Amino acid sequence: MADRSILGAADVDDATFREIVARSLGEDPATVTVLGVEASVVPYSLDAITTAGRYWVTARAATAQGERSARMFVKHVQNWRRSPLFQYVPYEMREMAARTVPWRSEPLLYRSDLRHRLPPGLCMPEALHVEFLDEASAAIWLPAFDVVEHDWETADFAQAAFLLGRLAGSPAVAGLASLGDADGRHTMRTYTEGRLAVQVAPALRSGELWQAPWLAEAFDADLRSRLLAMLDRVPSFVDEVEATPEAVAHGDACPNNLLHVTGSDDIVLIDYGFWSLQHVGFDLGQLLVGDVQMGRRPASTLPELEAACVPAYVAGLAAEGVSVDTATVARAHALHLLVFTGLSTPLTGPPPPDADPDVLAHEAHERAAISRFCLDLVTST
Supply the pTM of this predicted model: 0.93
Listed residue (45, 109, 114, 106) closest to 75, CA to CA: 106
Query: For residue 183, what pLDDT is reported?
Result: 65
Tell me the per-residue pLDDT of 8-20, one tens digit each, with 9 for 90 and over.
999 999 999 999 9
Query: For residue 2, what pLDDT is reported?
Result: 60
Element (H, E) at 235: helix 234-242
Tell me the per-residue pLDDT of 299-353, one tens digit each, with 9 for 90 and over.
999 999 999 999 999 999 999 999 999 999 999 999 999 999 999 999 987 788 8
Q: For residues 275 and 178, give the distance between their C-alpha atoms in angstroms, rounded to a whole number.
A: 8
Query: For residue 263, what pLDDT is reported?
Result: 85
**Alpha helices, H only, 74-153:** 94-99, 105-111, 114-117
Q: Grade residue 1 by pLDDT with cuts at 50, 70 and 90.
A: very low
The sign one gets for the Cα dihedral 287, 288, 289, 294 is: positive
Contact 284, 374 (CB under 8 A): no
The letter for the amino acid at 319 is A
Q: Grade residue 45 by pLDDT with cuts at 50, 70 and 90.
A: low
Classify the phi-psi angles of 228: left when phi > 0, otherwise alpha if psi is within -120 to 50, otherwise beta.
alpha
Q: Grade residue 46 by pLDDT with cuts at 50, 70 and 90.
A: low
Listed residue (287, 285, 300, 296) closest to 344, CA to CA: 285
**Local structure of 58: helix, strand or coil:** strand
Classify the phi-psi angles of 81: left when phi > 0, otherwise alpha if psi is within -120 to 50, otherwise beta.
alpha
Q: Is the pLDDT of residue 164 over 80?
A: yes
Averaged pLDDT score across all residues of the chain: 92
Contact 257, 267 (CB under 8 A): no
Query: For residue 84, what pLDDT is reported?
Result: 80
Contact 256, 270 (CB under 8 A): no
Tell me the per-residue pLDDT of 58-110, one tens digit each, with 9 for 90 and over.
999 999 999 999 999 999 999 888 888 777 777 777 777 777 778 899 999 99
DSSP annotation of 171 reads H
Query: For residue 80, what pLDDT is reported?
Result: 82
Contact 189, 100 (CB under 8 A): no
What is the full DSSP assignment across 249-300? Answer: E-S---GGGEEEBTT-SSEEE---TT-EEEETTTTHHHHHHHHHHTTSS-GG
Residue that wins the pLDDT comparison between 23 and 213: 23
Tell me the per-residue pLDDT of 249-270, one tens digit each, with 9 for 90 and over.
999 999 999 999 998 899 999 9
Contact 100, 274 (CB under 8 A): no
Q: CA 135, 141, 145 angle in degrees (round to 5)? A: 150
Residues 6+ apart with CB under 8 A from 216: 210
Q: For residues 123 and 107, give the distance between their C-alpha atoms in angstroms, rounded to a whole number.
A: 16
Q: For residues 196 and 93, give the distance between their C-alpha atoms in angstroms, rounded to a whole number.
A: 12
User: What percentage of the chain carries pLDDT values higher than 70?
Assistant: 97
Element (H, E) at 365: helix 357-380
